[in-house]
Amino acid sequence: MSAVLGITNVTRRFAGLIAVNDVSFTLNQGEILGVIGPNGAGKTTLVSLISGTLAPTAGDIAFEGRPITKLPAYQRARLGIGRTFQIMRPFPGLSVLDNVAVGALFGHGGGESDLDKARELARAQLDFVGLAKFADQRADELGGPSRKRLELAKALAMQPKVLLCDEVMAGLNLVEIDEVIEVLKRVRERGISILVIEHVIKAIKSLSDRLLVLHHGEKIADGDPDTVLSDARVVEAYLGRRRA
Amino acid sequence: MKGLRWILLVAALVVLAAVPWFGSDVLVQFGINALLLAVLAQGWNIIGGYTGYASFGNSVFYGLGSYGVAIAMVQWELPFAIGMVFGVVLAVAFAFLLGLPVLRLRGHYFAIATLALAQVMIAIVSNLSIAGQNIGLVLPPLNDDRLFYELSLILLIAATATVFWLTRSRFGFGLIAIRENEEGAAVMGVNTTLYKVLAFALSGVFSALAGGIHAYWITFLDPASAFDISLNVKMIIMAVFGGPGTVLGPVLGAFVLSTVSELLSSEITSVAGLFFGLVVVVAVIFMPRGVADLMRRFRATGWRYFVKNLKAHRI
Ligand SMILES: Nc1ncnc2c1ncn2[C@@H]1O[C@H](COP(=O)(O)OP(=O)(O)OP(=O)(O)O)[C@@H](O)[C@H]1O
Ligand SMILES: [Mg+2]
């Protein structure tokens, strides 16, 4: 298996705290890598470092073997890195369809330059995530669960090679979670490699090929999901969180 | 419905274009002013309405366009058209030089930074001998209001067509995405820095052309009137009144407010300013998305439209 993303000794400091501390790992072609960790572990920061909305304090990030640490976010998007936001970033005044069309107009490879074609591609993505009936609504009129799907559709419309999902299942009920899991599995079948952050352990277990655990910014485990979840340090990190 | 709209639009254009042939001198002069203000409001619409950056620097572009024409015609004795090109070059250079640092600022900070630009330009131009220092320049007079009117109308049509193109193009969608959420736009592949500077420049081109026409028409300009910040306030009010981020809103806003202000100032000069301000405040509270949005939604929601807006302000 070849590595699509290579993270090498990446550190990110904020004033007075280290959000991501000397983390290294790879995301392999066609893989679903689950990332878990207690609140404040540095998961979102990690995704921001990869997508380019934050710059690392130290370390290197490579995409398909090529260093991207210095590239601005939009260039990484054009190379094929798509992300969703935990704190959702829809374009509130645009229709749901046009939110997704932006992904098709830009995105991987620079996107589709024709608006009508981009909207067609967007409609297909809305169908795919089950939002087709909301296409003409304004994005800020969507309910919470639908907004999560919108985040996903926007990123998918970019035709990315790598998809970084930051808690796309948070706040969803069990049925909705299963639907999103199905969607992500089908995304992987298209050959897209996925990094998925999630708190719902059951969901992440059924989805991930491999699991990575962050705790206080450090990687404390990385490997087969069952092994990782029975690891003493991981259990402790989660129990510690529950007691707190 | 769509066909009817086009017919109405063409009819309106024909009537507008015919004004100098049936209207009085006063009407034509009012028309030139109103058309140029509409161009300014439409130009501001590109950076303020579509990209979401409330620029107070557009009067600088206007001033640069005015001086471009004046310097070319007076100092170098070149034709008007070349002066217009010179003004546009100045405006674009300015947009790239100052847009790059200033467009890194967001919201109020951007507005304040651009606010300072006009003052700086007045200081610079007042000390340039080629620009006539603080005395200004007198252009060769051309007594042809019909020509100035039609030129202004053509410019307004060009500006409006450009804005219409924005609503249909990848570039325009990039700008709207920046307005709606800049970080969200960047991770989707929008080169936000480049797009913002291009929007600023495009906005500046129309302001500069309007300034150029105005300078030749008025035949006189000095630094304080060329870089007048109240002109910038006017274009913002007109664009916001009509509907920022819409194709026809700013034009409508400019026409309506020009007419109101003209009627008031000829009838009751003293209260005119006060009333004008009042109209704008009430409009912003009751229809913050402008006349264009009001017309689109009023039929569906009726009077509740105003109540809803009022509530949104939490008054
Ligand atoms: N922009 C910022 N400035 C300062 N501190 C930040 C910033 N962003 C994140 N942090 C801090 O960095 C740490 C890691 O935050 P991060 O959001 O990456 O955690 P997370 O694992 O995504 O948490 P959660 O499960 O709550 O989403 C936290 O302590 C957070 O307060
Ligand atoms: Mg997070």
Question: What pLDDT does B252 receive?
Answer: 93
Instruction: Give the pLDDT band (50/70/90) at residue B142.
Output: confident
- Whether A44 lines ligand 1, by a CB cut-off of 6 Å, is yes
> Which is more confident, B3 or B61?
B61
Expressed in percent and rounded to 5, the helix, strand and coil fractions of chain A are 45, 25, 30
The pTM assigned to this predicted structure is 0.91
Distance in Å, CA A45 to ligand 2 centroid: 7
Q: Is B108 helix (H, G, I), strand (E, B) or coil?
A: helix
Percentage of chain A beyond pLDDT 90 is 77
> Which is more confident, B265 or B103?
B103
The whole-angstrom distance between B185's CA and the closest CA on chain A is 8
The whole-angstrom distance between B304's CA and the closest CA on chain A is 18
- The H-assigned helical ranges of chain A are 43-51, 73-79, 96-105, 115-129, 144-157, 174-189, 201-207, 225-229, 232-243
Question: What pLDDT does A100 receive?
Answer: 96
Question: What pLDDT does A244 receive?
Answer: 42
Chain A residue numbers with beta carbons less than 8 Å from the beta carbon of B187 are 51-53, 73-74, 76-77, 82-83
- Whether A14 lines ligand 1, by a CB cut-off of 6 Å, is yes
Question: What pLDDT does A134 receive?
Answer: 95
List own/partner pairs for B229-233 with CB under 8 A and 24 or more apart: B229/B56, B229/B59, B229/B115, B229/B118, B229/B119, B231/B40, B231/B59, B231/B62, B232/B44, B232/B55, B232/B56, B232/B57, B232/B58, B232/B59, B232/B118, B233/B56
Among all chains, which residue has been given the structure tokens 């140029």?
B36
Question: What are the tens digits of pLDDT across the range B255-314?
Answer: 998 888 888 776 666 666 676 677 777 776 777 777 777 777 777 777 777 777 777 665
**Measured distance CA(B262)–CA(A140) in Å, rounded:** 40
Strands (E), chain B: 137-138, 220-221
Tokens of A155: 């990123």
Percentage of chain A beyond pLDDT 70 is 97
**Measured distance CA(B207)–CA(B210) in Å, rounded:** 5
**Domain locations in chain A?**
3-80+162-243, 92-159
ipTM of the complex: 0.93
Chain A residue numbers with beta carbons less than 8 Å from the beta carbon of B169 are 115
A vs B, Cβ pairs < 8 A, gives: 83
Q: Give Rg (Cα) of chain B.
A: 20
From atom 10 of ligand 1, which residue's Cα is the shortest distance away? A19
Question: What pLDDT does A243 receive?
Answer: 46
Question: What are the tens digits of pLDDT across the range B220-256?
Answer: 999 988 898 889 988 998 998 888 999 999 999 999 9
Question: What are the tens digits of pLDDT across the range B87-99?
Answer: 999 999 999 999 8
The mean pLDDT of A193-213, rounded to a whole number, is 92
Distance in Å, CA A140 to ligand 2 centroid: 22
The mean pLDDT of A120-147, rounded to a whole number, is 93
The whole-angstrom distance between A72's CA and the closest CA on chain B is 8
Question: What pLDDT does B16 receive?
Answer: 92
> Which is more confident, B110 or B187?
B187
Instruction: Give the pLDDT band (50/70/90) at residue B39.
Output: very high
Q: Which domains does chain B have, with CATH numbers?
A: 28-312 (1.10.3470)
Residue A1 has pLDDT above 80, yes or no: no
Question: What are the tens digits of pLDDT across the range B9-29?
Answer: 899 999 999 999 998 999 999
Residue A6: its H or E element? strand A3-14
**Measured distance CA(A143)–CA(A148) in Å, rounded:** 9
Residue type for position B228:
D
Residue A141 has pLDDT above 80, yes or no: yes
Contact state of A115 with B173 under an 8 Å Cβ cutoff: yes
Question: What pLDDT does B132 receive?
Answer: 79
**Measured distance CA(A82)–CA(A69) in Å, rounded:** 16
From atom 16 of ligand 1, which residue's Cα is the shortest distance away? A42
Question: What are the tens digits of pLDDT across the range A57-94?
Answer: 999 999 999 999 999 999 999 999 999 999 888 999 89
Average per-residue pLDDT for chain A: 92
Chain B residue numbers with beta carbons less than 8 Å from the beta carbon of A155 are 188
Least confident of A122-126, B2-6, B87-91, B163-167: B2-6
Chain A residue numbers with beta carbons less than 8 Å from the beta carbon of B184 are 85, 89-91
Ligand index nearest the alpha carbon of residue A19:
1
- Whether A43 lines ligand 1, by a CB cut-off of 6 Å, is yes
Q: Which residues contact A129 (CB under 8 A, 6 or more apart)?
A: A149, A150, A152, A153, A156, A183
Chain B residue numbers with beta carbons less than 8 Å from the beta carbon of A85 are 184
Question: What are the tens digits of pLDDT across the range A215-243?
Answer: 999 999 899 999 988 888 888 887 665 54
The mean pLDDT of A142-152, rounded to a whole number, is 91
The mean pLDDT of B45-58, rounded to a whole number, is 94
A-chain residue closest to B167, CA distance:
A115
Fold of A3-80+162-243: Rossmann fold (3.40.50)
Contact state of A106 with B190 under an 8 Å Cβ cutoff: yes
Residue type for position A137:
Q
Question: What pLDDT does B272 receive?
Answer: 63
**Measured distance CA(A55)–CA(B97) in Å, rounded:** 26
From atom 30 of ligand 1, which residue's Cα is the shortest distance away? A40
The mean pLDDT of B123-152, rounded to a whole number, is 88
